[in-house]
Structure formats: C-alpha cells, structure tokens
Amino acid sequence: MPPLLRVEKLQKSYGEIRAVEEVSFEVNPGEILGLLGPNGAGKTTTIGCICGLLEPDSGTVDIGDDPVASRPLEARRKLGVVPQDLALYEELTVEANLLSFGGLYRMSSARLVDRIKWCLEFVQLADSRDKRVAQLSGGMKRRLNLAVALMHDPELVLADEPTVGVDPQSRSHIFENMEALARAGKAVVYTTHYMEEVERLCARAAIIDRGKVAAMDEVPALLDLAGKARRVRLGWTGGIIPEEERRKLEERFSPSAMSVEGAELHLAFDGPVPVTGMTAWLAAEGHELSVFSMERPTLEDAFLKLTGRRLRDR
C-alpha cells in the first residue's frame, strides 16, 4: 500500500535559524508515526509545512497523490489537524463548533449530522453536545479539539502534542482515540515530547533535534539505540552517599556505568541486575534507602545517547 504521507528533504529557515533541515519520512495507512523531540526541535514547523501553513524553503510534501505545493486544496481535504493549542469557539456549543468546522468541507446536511454524531461518540462527548465550550473541563476541550479535526473523516491526522495539559483520564481517552483511528486505517502523525506517549502509541518514531531527524525506526529499535543496559536508581534518606561508599558499591557490583543524578545514584547493568546482593549489602552497611527502582532503557536514554542532551533540557 502506498504511503499516505511522504515528506522529502523538507527544509525551512527563519532568517539565519534553520528550523527544519533535510527532514524526510513516510507514514502508511493504519500507522501512527511519532515525532519525538524537545520544544523547539522543529516538530511544529514540520507539521506547519505538511498542512500548508508554512511554505518550505525546499523539499516536498505529498498527501496521497496530491503534492501540497501544487494541489493544496485536494491535499487538505485528506488532512485533519489537531493543533497544539485549543482552537475552538468558546461561546458556541460543542455541536455548533463541530458544525462550524465541518461546514468548511462541503458536506451535505445529512452527512454533517452523521459526522457530528460519530465524532461526539468517538470522543465521548455525546452528553455534552449542547454545552457551551466554555463550560467544558480542560480534558473535554482537548477531546473536542480532536473531534473537530475528524469531522470530515480525514485519511491523515496530524496531532500536534494533543495531550498538553490534560488530566490522566482524558489523556487515556485520547490515546484510545488515536489507536482506534489507526485501526480504522488512518495514518497518524503524533508529535510529542513525552517519550512515554510514543512508546505507548507508535510502532515507529522519528527522533528530531535541532531541525534534523536524528534517528527514525521502529520503537524497539530506537530503544536498542540506548543499549540493553538496565538502570537502577538509588536514593538515600539522608542525601547522596559519600564518594568513598559509592566507590565501594562500584567495586562490589561492577555496573557498566554509574552517575549521580540530583540526589540519586544511577547504576547501569548490561547483564542481570544483582538486586538481592545489592539490597543485602546496602542494609548491612547501614544505608537507609528512600528510592530503589529498576528501569529498562527508554527513548529518553536513546535521545540522550543520540543528541547528548535530555528531551526536557530546554
């Protein structure tokens, strides 16, 4: 099946600043592609170029068979955008918002009614259809923000950090919605700086930093970039342990890496983690722990390894 979105060598600068540089990727129907990067990495600029809000300096964007540059209206008909900020008319009702935005896509009245019903059920806002947006909770507004983008049943959905500032319940709703869209054969581009979201939702992801794609692969392959090592986080009730004690710990259990992160000591193990031995030793030495956790490598680690920086450095 041909890709629904094809981005090739996309480049966009603002004056001297290169916001997007040689970005290329494809998204297939039924796939959720994660665009993972810190704020200012170029994710929103990329989305802007895909939906035609920004004119790229070079490169091409095709949605299905339609190049955005030469057939923008045809391309946009296949596209639903979930903007990062809420884009709703607060003084109108939920239904009126759906009607207002759906009306931009040349649908018959009957089709509009059907789509409103479907969208309200999809985002679980059917009971709130007559409420004014101003009366909704933040999470409900986020879900409506998604519903508006789906009114014309787009083939490609661009979700630009759709869970910013939402409560866990609404976030879970949105995840379920994204997964349902993918199951329905839609192609989804999901930008975020939350690695957990990419790990939960996406089969593939592109790690973007400073306008460039640092890596793009299946999520497990990206996790492999961080190495196989498992990490153990230790925190002490009385603050970080002295350097002498840390050296003893290192000599006794031979971690592949050890670092102090704030008030915690992080140890990495390539092989099995000596949990029992380590807890027994720490107890025997009289250490009182407030944190003891074991973690597998994350995309955060992969990002750190690829860029030398943390996802939330900026």
Q: Which of 62, 68, 38, 31 is nearest to 210 (CA)?
A: 38
CB 116 within 8 A of CB 153: no
Angle subtended at Cα 185 by Cα 179 and Cα 188, rounded to the nearest 5 degrees: 55
**90 in contact with another protein (CB under 8 A):** yes
Whole-angstrom distance, CA of residue 193 vs CA of residue 230: 22
Measuring CA to CA, which residue among 294, 290, 292, 293 is closest to residue 236? 290
Q: Which 44-73 positions form the footprint of another protein (CB under 8 A)?
A: 51-54, 72-73
CA distance linking residue 272 with residue 136, whole number of Å: 49
Both tokens of 208, joined, read 């973007």
Q: Which of 3, 89, 229, 253 binds another protein (CB under 8 A)?
A: 89
Distance of closest approach, residue 53 Cβ to another protein, in angstroms: 6
Residues 142 and 123: beta-carbon distance below 8 Å: no
Give me 79's structure tokens: 């596209």
Please tell me the distance from the alpha carbon of residue 185 to that of residue 179, in angstroms, as a whole number.
Answer: 10
Give the whole-angstrom CA distance, residue 53 versus residue 113. Answer: 29
Toward another protein, which CB reaches closer, 19 or 148?
A: 148
Among 12, 43, 76, 142, binds another protein (CB under 8 A): 76
Number of residues counted as binding another protein (CB under 8 A):
23
Which is nearer to another protein, 79 or 222 (by Cβ)?
79
Q: Which of 77, 132, 212, 248 binds another protein (CB under 8 A)?
A: 77
For position 253 contacting another protein by CB under 8 A, the verdict is no
Choosing from 10, 27, 81, 302, the residue that interacts with another protein (CB under 8 A) is: 81
Residue listed under structure tokens 């074991």: 294
Write the binding mask 122 to 161 for another protein: x where contact by CB under 8 A, - elsewhere.
Answer: --------------------------x-------------
The answer to whether 83 contacts another protein (rule: CB under 8 A) is yes
Site for another protein in 91-120 (CB under 8 A): 101, 104-106
- Bridge-based pairing state of the strands 32-36 and 204-209: parallel
Name which of 101 and 253 has its Cβ closer to another protein.
Answer: 101
Q: Please, what is the minimum distance in Å from the beta carbon of residue 82 to another protein?
A: 10
Return residues touching another protein (CB under 8 A).
Answer: 51-54, 72-74, 76-77, 79, 81, 83, 85-90, 101, 104-106, 148
